[in-house]
Copies of this chain bind each other. A is one copy, B any other.
Amino acid sequence: MAVEFELEGNNLIVRDLIAVQAIDRGFFGSPFRGSRIELQLTPEEALYLIDVRGAVCRDGEGNLVGFNDLAERFDGKKFLARYFCYRDWRDRGIVARPMSEAKGNYGRSPMGKYPSQEYQPPKVNGKALFFKDDLMAVIDDNEVGRRLYEEEWFGQFGTYKAKKHGQFLKLDAYETLFLMQHSRLKLNEKEKQIVEAAINRRPDFLALYEVYEDWRMRGFVLKTGFKFGTHFRLYFPGAKPTLEDAEWMHSKHVIQVFPRDSKLLISEWARAIRVAHGVRKTFILAIPGKKQPGEEKVALDFLLYHRKKGIIETPKNDKPKYVMLAFSEEEEIGGAELASAIEQAKAMGLDLILSICDRETSVTHYRIKRIELPGSGYEYYEIEWIQP
Protein backbone atom coordinates (compact mmCIF):
# COMPACT_ATOMS: atom_id res chain seq x y z
CA MET A 1 0.00 0.00 0.00
CA ALA A 2 1.19 3.47 -0.82
CA VAL A 3 2.58 5.66 1.91
CA GLU A 4 0.28 8.35 3.30
CA PHE A 5 1.37 11.56 4.92
CA GLU A 6 -0.31 14.63 6.27
CA LEU A 7 -0.07 18.32 5.55
CA GLU A 8 -0.35 20.10 8.89
CA GLY A 9 0.25 23.84 8.62
CA ASN A 10 3.44 23.85 6.58
CA ASN A 11 4.64 20.55 7.97
CA LEU A 12 4.53 17.32 6.01
CA ILE A 13 4.31 14.48 8.51
CA VAL A 14 4.42 10.73 8.18
CA ARG A 15 2.53 9.21 11.15
CA ASP A 16 1.81 5.60 10.30
CA LEU A 17 4.38 3.35 11.96
CA ILE A 18 4.96 1.08 8.96
CA ALA A 19 5.18 4.08 6.65
CA VAL A 20 7.67 5.74 9.02
CA GLN A 21 9.89 2.67 8.89
CA ALA A 22 9.68 2.37 5.10
CA ILE A 23 10.44 6.07 4.62
CA ASP A 24 13.32 5.97 7.07
CA ARG A 25 14.87 2.94 5.37
CA GLY A 26 14.78 4.87 2.09
CA PHE A 27 16.64 7.80 3.72
CA PHE A 28 13.70 10.18 3.39
CA GLY A 29 12.44 12.40 6.21
CA SER A 30 13.83 13.70 9.49
CA PRO A 31 12.66 13.29 13.09
CA PHE A 32 9.57 15.40 13.76
CA ARG A 33 9.90 17.59 16.87
CA GLY A 34 12.99 15.71 17.93
CA SER A 35 11.38 12.28 17.91
CA ARG A 36 11.75 9.49 15.36
CA ILE A 37 8.26 8.15 16.04
CA GLU A 38 6.98 10.53 13.38
CA LEU A 39 8.93 11.81 10.39
CA GLN A 40 8.85 15.19 8.75
CA LEU A 41 9.39 15.48 4.97
CA THR A 42 10.94 18.31 3.01
CA PRO A 43 8.80 19.58 0.11
CA GLU A 44 11.12 17.81 -2.38
CA GLU A 45 10.81 14.53 -0.51
CA ALA A 46 7.02 14.85 -0.33
CA LEU A 47 6.72 15.63 -4.05
CA TYR A 48 9.07 12.79 -4.90
CA LEU A 49 7.02 10.28 -2.92
CA ILE A 50 3.84 11.49 -4.64
CA ASP A 51 5.37 11.70 -8.14
CA VAL A 52 7.41 8.52 -8.26
CA ARG A 53 6.28 6.30 -5.38
CA GLY A 54 2.53 6.90 -5.60
CA ALA A 55 2.33 8.31 -2.07
CA VAL A 56 -0.78 10.18 -0.98
CA CYS A 57 -0.92 13.46 0.91
CA ARG A 58 -4.00 14.55 2.87
CA ASP A 59 -4.82 17.68 4.81
CA GLY A 60 -6.19 17.71 8.36
CA GLU A 61 -9.74 17.04 7.08
CA GLY A 62 -8.64 14.03 5.10
CA ASN A 63 -8.85 15.76 1.68
CA LEU A 64 -6.37 14.73 -1.00
CA VAL A 65 -3.58 17.25 -1.60
CA GLY A 66 -2.30 16.99 -5.18
CA PHE A 67 1.12 17.73 -6.61
CA ASN A 68 0.21 21.27 -7.63
CA ASP A 69 -1.66 22.02 -4.37
CA LEU A 70 1.49 21.12 -2.50
CA ALA A 71 3.92 22.76 -4.92
CA GLU A 72 1.93 26.01 -4.92
CA ARG A 73 2.19 26.17 -1.16
CA PHE A 74 5.98 25.84 -1.14
CA ASP A 75 6.78 27.53 -4.49
CA GLY A 76 9.79 29.80 -4.22
CA LYS A 77 13.16 30.38 -5.77
CA LYS A 78 13.79 27.76 -8.46
CA PHE A 79 11.40 25.38 -6.76
CA LEU A 80 10.92 23.01 -9.69
CA ALA A 81 14.58 23.03 -10.70
CA ARG A 82 15.50 21.98 -7.16
CA TYR A 83 12.85 19.30 -7.17
CA PHE A 84 13.79 17.77 -10.52
CA CYS A 85 17.50 17.80 -9.69
CA TYR A 86 16.70 16.08 -6.40
CA ARG A 87 14.50 13.60 -8.23
CA ASP A 88 17.21 12.78 -10.73
CA TRP A 89 19.70 11.99 -7.96
CA ARG A 90 17.22 9.76 -6.13
CA ASP A 91 16.15 8.09 -9.39
CA ARG A 92 19.71 6.87 -9.76
CA GLY A 93 19.26 4.99 -6.50
CA ILE A 94 21.54 7.30 -4.52
CA VAL A 95 20.80 9.54 -1.58
CA ALA A 96 20.39 13.32 -1.30
CA ARG A 97 19.75 15.03 2.02
CA PRO A 98 18.93 18.57 3.17
CA MET A 99 21.82 21.02 3.58
CA SER A 100 20.86 21.51 7.22
CA GLU A 101 22.49 18.15 8.02
CA ALA A 102 25.96 19.28 6.90
CA LYS A 103 28.58 19.27 9.67
CA GLY A 104 32.21 20.41 9.63
CA ASN A 105 34.74 19.57 6.95
CA TYR A 106 34.46 16.13 5.35
CA GLY A 107 37.88 16.25 3.69
CA ARG A 108 36.64 14.80 0.42
CA SER A 109 37.68 17.53 -2.01
CA PRO A 110 41.25 16.72 -3.07
CA MET A 111 43.06 19.29 -5.18
CA GLY A 112 44.63 18.45 -8.53
CA LYS A 113 48.08 19.92 -9.11
CA TYR A 114 49.34 21.28 -12.43
CA PRO A 115 53.02 21.11 -13.41
CA SER A 116 53.94 24.76 -13.34
CA GLN A 117 57.45 26.10 -14.02
CA GLU A 118 58.93 29.51 -13.61
CA TYR A 119 59.02 31.33 -16.92
CA GLN A 120 61.46 34.01 -18.10
CA PRO A 121 59.88 35.99 -20.91
CA PRO A 122 62.40 36.72 -23.70
CA LYS A 123 63.60 40.22 -24.50
CA VAL A 124 62.33 41.28 -27.90
CA ASN A 125 64.27 43.68 -30.01
CA GLY A 126 61.63 44.48 -32.58
CA LYS A 127 58.58 46.46 -33.44
CA ALA A 128 55.03 45.43 -34.18
CA LEU A 129 52.15 47.19 -35.91
CA PHE A 130 48.86 46.97 -34.01
CA PHE A 131 45.57 46.78 -35.92
CA LYS A 132 42.95 48.22 -33.59
CA ASP A 133 39.93 46.92 -35.42
CA ASP A 134 41.36 43.40 -35.63
CA LEU A 135 42.95 43.40 -32.17
CA MET A 136 46.05 41.85 -33.67
CA ALA A 137 49.63 42.93 -34.17
CA VAL A 138 52.06 42.01 -36.94
CA ILE A 139 55.85 41.80 -36.71
CA ASP A 140 57.17 41.87 -40.28
CA ASP A 141 60.82 41.43 -39.27
CA ASN A 142 60.89 37.69 -39.95
CA GLU A 143 64.03 37.02 -37.93
CA VAL A 144 62.41 38.40 -34.76
CA GLY A 145 59.04 36.86 -35.61
CA ARG A 146 60.31 33.38 -36.37
CA ARG A 147 62.29 33.22 -33.14
CA LEU A 148 59.31 34.32 -31.01
CA TYR A 149 57.20 31.70 -32.72
CA GLU A 150 59.56 28.77 -32.76
CA GLU A 151 61.16 29.23 -29.35
CA GLU A 152 58.33 30.67 -27.29
CA TRP A 153 55.25 29.92 -29.39
CA PHE A 154 53.97 33.47 -29.41
CA GLY A 155 51.64 34.28 -32.30
CA GLN A 156 51.43 32.51 -35.61
CA PHE A 157 54.26 32.61 -38.11
CA GLY A 158 53.29 31.98 -41.73
CA THR A 159 50.09 29.99 -41.87
CA TYR A 160 48.29 28.01 -39.17
CA LYS A 161 49.60 24.43 -39.30
CA ALA A 162 51.93 25.48 -42.16
CA LYS A 163 54.46 27.96 -40.84
CA LYS A 164 56.50 27.69 -44.01
CA HIS A 165 53.62 28.94 -46.14
CA GLY A 166 53.65 32.72 -46.01
CA GLN A 167 55.61 34.71 -43.47
CA PHE A 168 55.37 37.41 -40.73
CA LEU A 169 54.37 36.92 -37.10
CA LYS A 170 50.76 37.62 -36.15
CA LEU A 171 50.05 38.21 -32.45
CA ASP A 172 46.65 38.35 -30.76
CA ALA A 173 45.84 41.06 -28.21
CA TYR A 174 46.79 38.92 -25.18
CA GLU A 175 50.18 38.03 -26.65
CA THR A 176 50.75 41.62 -27.75
CA LEU A 177 50.06 43.05 -24.29
CA PHE A 178 52.13 40.33 -22.62
CA LEU A 179 55.13 41.02 -24.84
CA MET A 180 54.81 44.76 -24.23
CA GLN A 181 54.71 44.28 -20.48
CA HIS A 182 57.28 41.52 -20.11
CA SER A 183 59.48 41.61 -23.21
CA ARG A 184 59.81 45.29 -24.10
CA LEU A 185 58.11 44.81 -27.47
CA LYS A 186 57.63 48.20 -29.11
CA LEU A 187 54.43 49.10 -30.92
CA ASN A 188 52.93 51.92 -32.94
CA GLU A 189 50.39 52.42 -30.13
CA LYS A 190 50.76 52.96 -26.40
CA GLU A 191 49.79 50.17 -24.02
CA LYS A 192 46.86 52.26 -22.78
CA GLN A 193 45.44 52.60 -26.28
CA ILE A 194 45.72 48.90 -26.94
CA VAL A 195 43.96 48.02 -23.71
CA GLU A 196 41.25 50.58 -24.47
CA ALA A 197 40.67 49.21 -27.95
CA ALA A 198 40.43 45.67 -26.56
CA ILE A 199 38.07 46.61 -23.72
CA ASN A 200 35.94 48.52 -26.17
CA ARG A 201 35.48 45.31 -28.13
CA ARG A 202 35.14 42.95 -25.18
CA PRO A 203 34.65 44.44 -21.72
CA ASP A 204 36.05 41.28 -20.11
CA PHE A 205 39.42 41.70 -21.86
CA LEU A 206 41.43 42.36 -18.70
CA ALA A 207 39.93 39.36 -16.91
CA LEU A 208 41.00 37.17 -19.84
CA TYR A 209 44.44 38.77 -19.91
CA GLU A 210 44.88 38.17 -16.18
CA VAL A 211 44.34 34.45 -16.74
CA TYR A 212 46.55 34.42 -19.84
CA GLU A 213 49.39 36.10 -17.95
CA ASP A 214 48.98 33.90 -14.88
CA TRP A 215 49.42 30.64 -16.86
CA ARG A 216 52.05 32.03 -19.26
CA MET A 217 54.23 33.15 -16.34
CA ARG A 218 54.07 29.56 -15.06
CA GLY A 219 55.44 28.15 -18.31
CA PHE A 220 52.20 27.17 -20.06
CA VAL A 221 51.42 28.12 -23.64
CA LEU A 222 47.96 29.56 -24.33
CA LYS A 223 46.52 29.93 -27.80
CA THR A 224 43.04 30.77 -29.01
CA GLY A 225 40.39 28.20 -28.11
CA PHE A 226 38.12 29.34 -30.94
CA LYS A 227 37.93 25.89 -32.53
CA PHE A 228 36.89 24.42 -29.18
CA GLY A 229 34.40 27.11 -28.26
CA THR A 230 36.49 28.53 -25.40
CA HIS A 231 38.73 31.51 -24.71
CA PHE A 232 42.03 29.61 -24.69
CA ARG A 233 43.48 26.22 -25.32
CA LEU A 234 46.36 25.19 -23.13
CA TYR A 235 49.71 23.44 -23.60
CA PHE A 236 51.87 22.27 -20.73
CA PRO A 237 55.34 23.75 -20.09
CA GLY A 238 57.83 22.86 -22.78
CA ALA A 239 55.31 22.87 -25.62
CA LYS A 240 56.53 24.19 -28.96
CA PRO A 241 54.94 24.47 -32.37
CA THR A 242 56.31 21.47 -34.27
CA LEU A 243 59.84 21.84 -35.51
CA GLU A 244 58.96 19.87 -38.60
CA ASP A 245 55.62 20.28 -40.30
CA ALA A 246 54.97 16.58 -40.09
CA GLU A 247 53.55 16.49 -36.60
CA TRP A 248 51.27 18.77 -34.72
CA MET A 249 50.98 18.98 -30.98
CA HIS A 250 47.45 18.56 -29.67
CA SER A 251 46.22 20.43 -26.64
CA LYS A 252 44.28 18.44 -24.06
CA HIS A 253 42.94 21.34 -22.00
CA VAL A 254 40.89 24.44 -22.67
CA ILE A 255 40.32 27.44 -20.42
CA GLN A 256 37.16 29.49 -20.16
CA VAL A 257 37.16 32.71 -18.14
CA PHE A 258 34.08 33.61 -16.14
CA PRO A 259 34.57 37.07 -14.62
CA ARG A 260 33.08 37.65 -11.17
CA ASP A 261 30.88 40.48 -12.41
CA SER A 262 29.50 38.65 -15.44
CA LYS A 263 26.16 36.87 -15.70
CA LEU A 264 25.18 34.22 -18.20
CA LEU A 265 22.14 32.12 -18.93
CA ILE A 266 22.86 28.58 -17.74
CA SER A 267 22.19 27.31 -21.26
CA GLU A 268 24.97 29.55 -22.61
CA TRP A 269 27.29 28.68 -19.77
CA ALA A 270 26.83 24.95 -20.35
CA ARG A 271 27.34 25.28 -24.11
CA ALA A 272 31.04 26.04 -23.68
CA ILE A 273 31.52 22.90 -21.57
CA ARG A 274 29.61 20.85 -24.13
CA VAL A 275 31.94 21.82 -26.99
CA ALA A 276 35.00 20.95 -24.92
CA HIS A 277 33.46 17.64 -23.92
CA GLY A 278 32.61 16.87 -27.54
CA VAL A 279 36.26 17.25 -28.53
CA ARG A 280 37.52 15.39 -25.43
CA LYS A 281 39.34 18.30 -23.84
CA THR A 282 39.55 18.91 -20.11
CA PHE A 283 37.57 22.07 -19.41
CA ILE A 284 39.22 24.49 -16.99
CA LEU A 285 37.19 27.31 -15.50
CA ALA A 286 38.85 30.51 -14.29
CA ILE A 287 37.12 33.04 -12.05
CA PRO A 288 39.85 35.65 -11.71
CA GLY A 289 39.89 38.39 -9.10
CA LYS A 290 39.29 38.42 -5.38
CA LYS A 291 36.04 38.33 -3.45
CA GLN A 292 34.42 41.74 -3.35
CA PRO A 293 32.59 43.12 -0.32
CA GLY A 294 28.82 42.84 -0.73
CA GLU A 295 28.94 39.79 -2.99
CA GLU A 296 25.89 37.67 -2.38
CA LYS A 297 26.26 34.32 -0.66
CA VAL A 298 24.42 31.71 -2.65
CA ALA A 299 22.38 28.95 -0.95
CA LEU A 300 23.50 25.41 -1.75
CA ASP A 301 20.75 22.87 -2.37
CA PHE A 302 21.49 19.30 -1.31
CA LEU A 303 24.05 17.18 0.45
CA LEU A 304 24.84 14.29 -1.87
CA TYR A 305 25.83 10.75 -1.04
CA HIS A 306 27.28 8.64 -3.81
CA ARG A 307 28.60 5.09 -4.23
CA LYS A 308 31.58 3.13 -2.99
CA LYS A 309 32.69 -0.32 -4.06
CA GLY A 310 29.42 -1.14 -5.79
CA ILE A 311 27.11 -0.14 -2.93
CA ILE A 312 25.53 3.19 -2.17
CA GLU A 313 26.76 5.55 0.49
CA THR A 314 24.19 6.33 3.17
CA PRO A 315 23.80 8.97 5.88
CA LYS A 316 23.88 6.09 8.36
CA ASN A 317 27.30 4.72 7.44
CA ASP A 318 29.06 7.32 5.34
CA LYS A 319 29.99 10.90 4.84
CA PRO A 320 28.45 12.91 2.00
CA LYS A 321 30.55 13.03 -1.17
CA TYR A 322 29.35 16.19 -2.92
CA VAL A 323 27.19 19.21 -2.47
CA MET A 324 24.64 20.21 -5.14
CA LEU A 325 23.78 23.60 -6.58
CA ALA A 326 20.65 23.23 -8.73
CA PHE A 327 19.69 25.40 -11.71
CA SER A 328 17.16 25.48 -14.48
CA GLU A 329 18.19 25.89 -18.10
CA GLU A 330 16.87 29.44 -18.42
CA GLU A 331 18.22 30.72 -15.14
CA GLU A 332 21.15 33.09 -14.90
CA ILE A 333 24.43 32.29 -13.20
CA GLY A 334 26.97 34.88 -12.10
CA GLY A 335 30.71 34.56 -11.67
CA ALA A 336 30.63 35.78 -8.06
CA GLU A 337 27.69 33.49 -7.30
CA LEU A 338 29.52 30.43 -8.61
CA ALA A 339 32.67 31.44 -6.73
CA SER A 340 30.64 31.71 -3.53
CA ALA A 341 29.19 28.22 -4.03
CA ILE A 342 32.63 26.76 -4.69
CA GLU A 343 34.00 28.47 -1.57
CA GLN A 344 31.24 27.05 0.61
CA ALA A 345 31.74 23.58 -0.82
CA LYS A 346 35.47 23.89 -0.16
CA ALA A 347 34.82 24.85 3.48
CA MET A 348 32.78 21.64 3.78
CA GLY A 349 35.58 19.63 2.18
CA LEU A 350 33.28 18.53 -0.67
CA ASP A 351 33.34 18.97 -4.43
CA LEU A 352 30.52 21.05 -5.84
CA ILE A 353 28.12 19.49 -8.33
CA LEU A 354 26.23 21.84 -10.56
CA SER A 355 22.98 20.19 -11.62
CA ILE A 356 20.98 21.68 -14.46
CA CYS A 357 17.34 20.86 -15.13
CA ASP A 358 16.48 21.57 -18.76
CA ARG A 359 13.06 22.62 -20.11
CA GLU A 360 12.12 18.96 -20.46
CA THR A 361 13.14 18.19 -16.82
CA SER A 362 16.14 16.18 -17.97
CA VAL A 363 19.05 16.80 -15.59
CA THR A 364 22.75 17.18 -16.42
CA HIS A 365 25.39 17.10 -13.68
CA TYR A 366 28.77 18.83 -13.78
CA ARG A 367 31.42 18.13 -11.17
CA ILE A 368 33.72 20.99 -10.22
CA LYS A 369 37.18 19.89 -9.11
CA ARG A 370 39.61 22.37 -7.62
CA ILE A 371 43.05 22.52 -9.18
CA GLU A 372 46.21 24.18 -8.04
CA LEU A 373 48.56 26.06 -10.31
CA PRO A 374 51.67 26.36 -8.12
CA GLY A 375 52.85 29.96 -7.92
CA SER A 376 49.49 31.42 -8.85
CA GLY A 377 47.33 33.42 -6.44
CA TYR A 378 44.15 31.99 -7.95
CA GLU A 379 42.31 28.71 -7.86
CA TYR A 380 41.13 27.10 -11.07
CA TYR A 381 38.55 24.41 -11.61
CA GLU A 382 38.20 21.42 -13.87
CA ILE A 383 34.60 20.91 -14.85
CA GLU A 384 33.49 17.52 -16.02
CA TRP A 385 30.17 16.14 -17.10
CA ILE A 386 29.28 13.19 -14.94
CA GLN A 387 26.59 10.54 -14.84
CA PRO A 388 26.36 9.77 -11.15
- Please list the residues of chain A having a beta carbon within 8 angstroms of any beta carbon in chain B: 51-52, 66-68, 71-72, 75-81, 87, 91, 129, 131, 133-136, 138, 140, 155-156, 159-161, 165-168, 170, 172-173, 188, 201-202, 223-224, 226-227, 229, 231, 265, 267-268, 270-272, 274-275, 278-279, 328-332, 356, 358-362, 364
The reply to whether B156 and A361 form a contact with Cβ atoms under 8 Å apart is yes
Sample of 15 more A-B contacts, CB < 8 Å, known A68-B129, A202-B330: A67-B138, A72-B188, A80-B131, A80-B136, A80-B170, A87-B166, A91-B159, A136-B359, A172-B360, A201-B331, A223-B360, A226-B356, A229-B267, A268-B268, A278-B278
Interchain CB contact under 8 A, A168 and B360: no
Is there an interface contact between B275 and A226, defined as CB atoms closer than 8 Å? no
Say how far A229's CB is from chain B's closest CB, in angstroms.
Answer: 4
A166 — which chain B residues lie within 8 A by C-beta?
51-52, 87
- Is A51's CB under 8 angstroms from B131's CB? no
6 A-B residue contacts at CB 8 Å? A52-B165, A79-B131, A202-B265, A227-B364, A229-B271, A271-B272
DSSP majority for the A interface? mixed
Q: Is the CB of A226 within 8 A of B188?
A: no
Contact indicator B201/A330 (Cβ below 8 Å): yes
Chain B residue contacts of A79, Cβ below 8 A? 131, 133-134
- Chain B residues within 8 Å of A329, by CB: 224, 226
CA distance A125 to B163 in the complex (A): 68
Assess whether A161 is in contact with B202, with CB atoms less than 8 Å apart: no
Task: Name which residue of chain B comes closest to A70, CB basis.
Answer: B140
Chain B residue with Cβ nearest A225: B267
Are B134 and A80 in contact (CB-based, < 8 A)? yes
Query: Which residue in chain B gives the minimum CB-CB distance to A134?
Result: B80
Q: How far is the CA of A268 from the CA of B201 in the complex (A)?
A: 13
Contacts of A279 in B (CB 8 A): 278
Nearest CB of B to A341, in Å: 18
- A267 nearest in chain B by CB position: B226
Contact B330 A173 (CB under 8 A): yes
Residues of B within 8 A of A72 (CB): 129, 188
Contacts of A76 in B (CB 8 A): 133
Residues B328 and A227 in contact, CB atoms below 8 Å apart: no
Give the contacting residue for A133; candidates B51, B77, B165; CB below 8 A. Answer: B77
A332 neighbours in B (Cβ, 8 Å): 201
| Contact of A359 (CB < 8 Å), options: B78, B138, B168, B226 | B226
